[in-house]
Amino acid sequence: MAWIFHSIFLYEAELAYSEISSNWEELTPSQKRHEAWVLGPTRLFNILTEVDTVPLLLSLVMMGTTILIGVQRWRIVLKIQGLPLSMARTAEISLVAHFFNSFFLGSTGGDLMKAYYAARETHHLKTEAVMTVVIDRLMGLFSMLLFACLMMLPNWSYILSNEGILFLCLFTFAMLLGCGSIIGLALWGHWFKSGHSVEKTCRKWIPKWDLLKRSLDACRVFGNDKHFFAKILTLSMLLNLACVFQITALVGGLQIEVDWKVFLVIVPMIICISALPITPNGLGVRENLYVLALAPAMVPGTKALALSLLAYAGSLFWSLFGGLVYMAFRERHHLTEVTQSE
């Protein structure tokens, strides 16, 4: 983050000097650093405070909508696995997970807490409960990668305008192939059924194979459901659109003049890549990607940075609710376990 801020502030300081007809190149490196951190933060702060209120509130609503759709999607996954949790309980666990996402690596670290609490909801189906979180995340990631790849077609000229964006698109496509392969093996891989030669080999060479085998068996329950893939993909596409609308609302509030359809490919790509466990909540990765992706549209670095930070602030806003749920119910409520027979 420090490197990103410094690079952008240096550029903004150079622009400021050019506006007053001063020679930026005559400054020493230390003077440039000083001017960057004097002028840059001021410009960024002005942009953040000048965002229109209505688009900002709309962005917060759309962020909440993504969480709500995610809750409903997970409920479908839980129900297929024989764990019918109420809407309130599912929302409670999801908000707690969203809270932990704020400081865990990537943007999926909160899934660890989600899996933990899901396992507490049953005495006999703990492995299956954990796998609902894994499958929900994999399906959500696959749908967003698929959405991004489909939206590359109407934005092909924009993609070709910059080698960096083209690389991001190729990386996204590679992620789609990898994620799709994992889902295919998990949901429909018959090689791991009991008695198959591959299964026998795995049992011989892989430690604790029985636990992994039970996890794969839990995954095939979803593959055997004829309507699972269609229902989850439909909800996930709605969630993807909500994510795009959250950003485009902020784009309007910041008066960024970029064709709206460009964000149909930029937003899902950035979300998927920043989900990789590199930094807490993808902080820094996400900001750098927004600056890179909007550069061909001549969007100033400070505005691209402000867009990313405001989107992150919207996520933190809803994380506060998750934090309150976690603190209030950790001891008193503690997400009461539900007895579930096999």
pLDDT one-digit tens code per residue, 176-199: 999 999 999 888 877 767 767 776
Least confident range from 55-59, 103-107, 137-141: namely 103-107
DSSP 206: S
Residue 299, pLDDT score:
85
Residue scoring higher pLDDT (288 or 68): 68
Place of tokens 């709500």: 68
Model confidence band, residue 106 (pLDDT cutoffs 50, 70, 90): low
Residue 105, pLDDT score:
65
Question: Above 80 in pLDDT, residue 305?
Answer: yes
Residue 209, pLDDT score:
72
Residue scoring higher pLDDT (328 or 170): 170
Phi, psi of 105 (to 5 degrees): -65, 140
Task: Report helix, strand or coil for 280.
Answer: strand
Contact yes or no for 65/241 (Cβ under 8 A): no
Residue 108, pLDDT score:
63
Residue scoring higher pLDDT (197 or 173): 173
Distance CA 148, CA 137 (A): 16
Beta-bridge partner residues of 280: 105, 106
Place of tokens 């952008």: 8
Least confident range from 99-103, 247-251, 278-282, 286-290: namely 278-282
Residue 330, pLDDT score:
61
Whether 158 is covered by a domain: the verdict is yes
Residue scoring higher pLDDT (217 or 67): 67
Contact yes or no for 51/224 (Cβ under 8 A): no
Mean pLDDT of the chain: 83
Whether 70 is covered by a domain: the verdict is yes
Q: How many CB atoms lie within 10 A of CB 2?
A: 7
Question: Above 60 in pLDDT, residue 335?
Answer: no
Whether 16 is covered by a domain: the verdict is no
218-239 exposure pattern, b = at least 16 Cβ within 10 A, e = fewer: bbbbbbebeebeeebbebbbbb
Q: Which of 33-47, 230-244, 296-310 has the highest mean pLDDT?
A: 230-244
Residue scoring higher pLDDT (247 or 323): 247
pLDDT (mean) for 5-31: 74
- Tens digit of each residue's pLDDT (9 = 90 or more) over 33-48: 888 888 778 877 888 8
- Show the domain range for 80: 60-329
Whether 337 is covered by a domain: the verdict is no
Residue 145, pLDDT score:
95
pLDDT (mean) for 312-322: 87
Model confidence band, residue 96 (pLDDT cutoffs 50, 70, 90): confident
Contact yes or no for 246/63 (Cβ under 8 A): yes
Distance CA 256, CA 239 (A): 23
Whether 156 is covered by a domain: the verdict is yes
Could you tell me what percent of the chain has a pLDDT over 70? 90
pLDDT (mean) for 219-226: 87
Residue 336, pLDDT score:
47
Residue 226, pLDDT score:
86
Whether 177 is covered by a domain: the verdict is yes
Whether 19 is covered by a domain: the verdict is no
Q: Where are the alpha helices (DSSP H) in 81-208?
A: 87-101, 111-120, 126-151, 156-160, 163-188, 197-205
Model confidence band, residue 56 (pLDDT cutoffs 50, 70, 90): very high
Q: Into how many domains does the chain fold?
A: 1
Question: Above 90 in pLDDT, residue 72?
Answer: yes
Whether 336 is covered by a domain: the verdict is no
